[in-house]
A and B are shown apart, each in its own frame.
Chain A
Amino acid sequence: MTSRRQLLQASLTLGALQLFPGMSHAQAKRLVFATFTGSWEEAHRAVLVPAFKKATNNAEIILDPMLSVDQIAKVTAARNNPPIDVMLHDPGPALTAIDQGLVENYPVATSKNYKDLIAEAQEEMGPAIFFQVVGLTYNPDKIKTPPTSWKDLWKPEYKGRAGITNLNSTLGTGFLVEIAKLFGGSETNIEPGFKALNDLKPNLAAVAANPGALATLFQQGQVDISPGNFNAIQILKARGVPVEFVIPKEGAIAFKTTIHIVKNSPNRELAVALIEAAMSPEVQTRLMQSPYLVVPTNSKVKMEGEISKVLAKDQADMKKRFVFQDWKKINEQRAQWIERFNREIKL
């Protein structure tokens, strides 16, 4: 009986030890990549992760999808021991990350792919790996005449069918700035934008927490029209959801998305490998094709297919057709806007 008890004790102790792994041991092994929710996560999981594993002999990687601003919050809260190794950022949060010293510069000298990036995408503190394009997305089965302008969202026939995201996402904030401009304002005069959002309330079916959630709403038929990312549509289409993208006559909003190594990350080599893979022509070409349709930044990748048909024939063409916003100015007031949005835009 004594030996049985000893055996039990021993196995319990061993078991307990397994449950409390050394922290640094666990951290150093797994790379945490904070990507965006929804179609980005799917695209990266399907294309970038396998490429990374091939390049690093099957190193472990965890995708932690969250908004750009949330990534900043998490890393700021634990600077010395960041829970994320590689961050993905929209222009606004990217400026914040660099300003606050949250990221390291990328070793461009030893990089194979960095020099192939187009000029705008080359940024040592965080190269740009794709462009996002925001326009109008709608359900062609329910909405027979395609919308042509941002202002169409306010049409009374769309009562209870429109969707937007909150201002935590770049999609939401970019949209707000656009409509502010539409109604006579700008990045520094956001008042017309908020007024327009208030006017939109009767049409609002839902306010999504992030673009991924917005896409789900389309899929479940909860919204029929919304501002949306170009590539989110393609994944929905591939799933058989009726959805189309259209560039409003005022111009589509475009912004570059950058990838950064987090300072103090214990997985620097793996982080570099991931970013290399993300910049590589192979990964970018695959991501450009159906159903991901992510706009590439590597000059070796020829824009073709859906992207060149709907958006632009090449990066130069894109610069002509799209609207780029002043994120430095937006950053200064974003926190206030977010608070104001959370207070005002509620049913």
Chain B
Amino acid sequence: MAHQKDLSTILFRGTLGCLAVLTVVLLIAPTAVVLIVSFTDGYSLKFPPVSYSTRWYVELWNASHLHFAAMNSIKVGLATTLLSVVFGVLASLAIVGSKSRWARALDSLFMSPLVLPALAFGFAALMTFSAVGWSVSITTLIIGHTAVCVPYVIRTTSAALAQMDPALLESSASLGASRWYSFRFVTLPLIRPGVMAGAFIAFMSSFDNVPVSLFLRDARTDMLPIRMWQDLEGKLDVTIAALSGVIIIFTLIMMIVMERVAGLSRRLRQG
């Protein structure tokens, strides 16, 4: 196979290669920058920092309002993930493999929050709750979050179900197992990594959620991303940089864990 190494090839490969390198740099830079800036000694976001210290991490340790928001986000995230997994797995089971029109329609319905602007939904939810007299609370937040996070669970669970060899279930049935038994001992173990990956993505999605939290929270149910955004705009200190550093490390660790346990990268590219 003779490749003509002419000028156009070199230019072509060179350009794409340079762009690719630039892109990788652009992908890594923000994370690296935030981590470095979080160790600045001063009050501004100068880069590179003039001097270094861990004072902002100390500030973070004392910033009870940030802890409060973080706890709220974690609580809502866990509850949302729980609900999403329960509802999502049930829905996935029903839809995958079914050829009926209902299944197609339900699938579109369940996945639609991924496509529609969550901001519009967040506001709509606020208005609806308001209209029926429910005031904003942690319950309304969880409901709102679940609506936009359940698609992630459905997506990975459906992919895992679709990849399961039907022969396994058929042989299990022919050996006399009930449907429930087959589910518990054949299906569930096989789709567990997919469900876990979906649960992880759902949790991160809820933790990071801004559009729904913007409308459905108040001071008592303050959520971390919103608090961070407001502090970034209006406060003069750099504690948010330290908080960002902590979040990045946490995400990194969880990603590595989920990659080992559930093959996360593969599942993110599906669907």
Q: Restricting to A209-260, which residues have a CB under 8 Å from any CB of B?
A: 209-210, 212-213, 215-216, 219-221, 235-236, 239-241
Determine the chain A residues whose CB is within 8 A of the CB of B79 once the complex forms.
16, 19-20
Count of chain A to chain B residue pairs whose CB atoms are closer than 8 Å in the complex: 89
0/1 string, A58-101, CB within 8 A of B gives 1:
00001111000000001001100101100000000000000000
The answer to whether B234 touches A65, judged by C-beta atoms less than 8 angstroms apart, is yes
**A19: nearest chain-B partner, CB-CB:** B79
Asked if B235 is at the interface (CB within 8 A of a chain A CB), the reply is yes
Q: How far is the CA of A24 from the CA of B54 in the complex (A)?
A: 40
Q: Do residues A42 and B236 form an inter-chain contact, with CB atoms below 8 A?
A: yes
Interface residues of B in 64-111 (CB under 8 A from A): 65, 68, 75, 78-79, 82
The chain B residue sitting closest to A78, CB to CB, is B135
Chain B positions 36 through 73: 1 when the CB is less than 8 Å from some CB of chain A, otherwise 0: 00000011110000000000000000000100100000
The answer on a CB contact under 8 Å between B219 and A62 is yes
Q: How many angstroms between the C-alpha atoms of A83 and B79 in the bound complex? A: 23
A215 touching B138, Cβ below 8 Å = no
Nearest Cβ on chain A to B226's Cβ, whole angstroms: 11
Find chain A residues with CB under 8 A from B234 CB. Answer: 37-38, 41, 65, 209-210, 212-213, 215-216
Q: Tell me whether A30 is interfacial, beta carbon within 8 Å.
A: yes
User: Are A63 and B65 in touch, CB under 8 angstroms?
Assistant: yes
Q: Which of A62, A64, A219 contacts B44 (CB 8 A)?
A: A219
Contact of B136 with A by CB under 8 A: yes
Are A62 and B235 interface neighbours, CB within 8 A? no
- Is B265's CB within 8 Å of the partner chain A? no
Q: Are A239 and B236 in contact (CB under 8 A)?
A: yes
Q: How many residues on the A side are at the interface (Cβ–Cβ under 8 A)?
A: 41
Residue from A15, A30, A209, A239 within 8 A of B220 (CB atoms): A30
Query: Across the interface, do B236 and A235 meet the contact criterion of CB distance under 8 Å?
Result: yes
Interface residues on B, range: 20 to 34
Q: Which of A280-318 contact B (CB under 8 A)?
A: none
Q: Which residues of A contact B135 (CB under 8 A)?
A: 23, 78, 81, 83
B219 close to A83 (CB less than 8 A): yes
CA distance A210 to B233 in the complex (A): 9
B23 at the interface (CB under 8 A from A): no
User: What are the interface flags for A13-31 relative to B under an 8 Å C-beta threshold, 1 for contact and 0 otherwise?
Assistant: 0011001110100110010
Interface check B130, CB cutoff 8 A: yes
B235 proximity list for chain A (CB < 8 A): 38, 41-42, 212, 216
Chain B residues with Cβ under 8 A from A209's Cβ? 233-234
- Inside 8 A of A117's CB, which chain B residues have their CB? none
The answer to whether A241 touches B137 (Cβ under 8 A) is no
CB distance from B20 to the nearest CB of A (A): 32
Whether B236 contacts A16 by the Cβ 8 Å rule is no
Contact between B44 and A19, CB atoms less than 8 A apart: no
Q: Judging by beta carbons under 8 Å apart, are B230 and A65 in contact?
A: yes
Q: Identify B236's interface contact among A62, A63, A81, A216, CB under 8 A.
A: A216
User: Given A30-B220, A84-B219, A239-B43, does the pair A19, B236 have CB atoms closer than 8 Å?
Assistant: no
Q: Which residue of B lies closest to A240 (CB)?
A: B43
Tell me if A19 and B75 are in contact (CB < 8 A).
yes
Residues of B with C-beta under 8 A to A38: 234-236
B233 and A64 form a contact (CB under 8 A): no
* B residues near A21, Cβ cutoff 8 Å: 138
Return chain A residues, CB-CB under 8 Å to B220.
Answer: 26-27, 30, 32, 62, 83
Q: Bound state CA distance, A217 and B218, in angstroms?
A: 27
Residues of B130-162 whose CB lies within 8 A of A = 130, 135-139, 142
Docked pose: A216 CA to B235 CA in angstroms: 6
The 8 closest A-B pairs by CB, nearest first: A212-B234, A64-B219, A83-B218, A37-B234, A239-B43, A32-B219, A81-B135, A213-B233
Apart from A32-B220, A216-B236, list 18 A-B contacts with CB within 8 A. Answer: A12-B82, A16-B79, A19-B138, A20-B139, A38-B234, A41-B235, A42-B235, A62-B68, A64-B222, A77-B130, A78-B136, A81-B135, A83-B136, A209-B233, A209-B234, A215-B236, A235-B236, A240-B43
Q: Show 12 residue pairs from A and B whose CB-CB distance is below 8 angstroms, ordered by the A residue.
A: A19-B138, A27-B220, A32-B220, A41-B235, A62-B220, A78-B135, A83-B136, A83-B219, A213-B234, A216-B235, A220-B44, A220-B45
Residues of A in contact with B (beta carbons under 8 Å apart): 12, 15-16, 19-21, 23, 26-27, 30, 32, 34, 37-39, 41-42, 62-65, 74, 77-78, 81, 83-84, 209-210, 212-213, 215-216, 219-221, 235-236, 239-241
B interface with A by C-beta (< 8 Å): 42-45, 65, 68, 75, 78-79, 82, 130, 135-139, 142, 218-220, 222, 230, 232-236
